[in-house]
Amino acid sequence: MERDLTAARRSDRCPADAGFTLIEVAIAILILMVGVTSVVGAIGLGVGVNKAEGEISSRVTTYAQDKVEELMRLAYTDTATDTAVFPAAATGGAGLAAGGSTALGSEVAGYVDYLTEAGVRTDATRAFFTRQWAVADNASGNSKTLTVAVYSRRVATYNTPPTTFVVGMKANN
């Protein structure tokens, strides 16, 4: 019986004793605003980083494809055209002679060029992108494999600069 009286007393409380005070609501709103502001800031930062990295990655791929197309325009037997300069010089380069390297940091003269952030050829000291290529004669003797690597010197995220490799095949026809 005593339990029933206790329950009855609880239900007789004044409605002003139940609920939250104005100060409690204000503090809750303040905490919520700080949390929402932090999340919105983090989203904005993430969008900015992804945009920057995506733009660089896109240009790295475009510059690699441009070099493959430039090499594909050379004659199969060309071993003299200098494609490291623009416009390509008829002599002083390696053309499609077997050689070169696509390994980062192992540039081979005649098989490397450098680009500014805008994609204009420059020297190594002002380069934003390093573009390296290798030419390999295939066993059949009727084709060459052209491999182009482009490295960005800018690191956007994950401490890894955007890099791409593009491979093309040049047939002897």
Q: How far apart are CA 91 and CA 105, in angstroms?
A: 26
- The answer as to whether 3 is a domain residue is no
Encode pLDDT of 24-66 as tens digits.
Answer: 888 989 988 888 888 777 776 666 666 666 778 888 999 999 9
- The answer as to whether 16 is a domain residue is no
- The answer as to whether 47 is a domain residue is yes
Ordered DSSP codes for 72-134: HTS-TT----BTTSSSPBSSSS-TT-SEE--STT---TTSEEEE-TTS-EE-GGG-SEEEEEE
- The answer as to whether 141 is a domain residue is yes
What is the extent of the structural domain holding 38? 25-171
- The answer as to whether 82 is a domain residue is yes
- The answer as to whether 8 is a domain residue is no
Domain count, the chain: 1
Average pLDDT over residues 5-13: 54
Q: Is 123 exposed, middle or buried (0-12, 13-18, 19+ CB in 10 A)?
A: exposed
Encode pLDDT of 108-158 as tens digits.
Answer: 999 999 999 889 999 999 999 999 999 999 988 889 999 999 998 876 556
Q: Report yes or no on whether pTM surpasses 0.85.
A: no
- The answer as to whether 5 is a domain residue is no
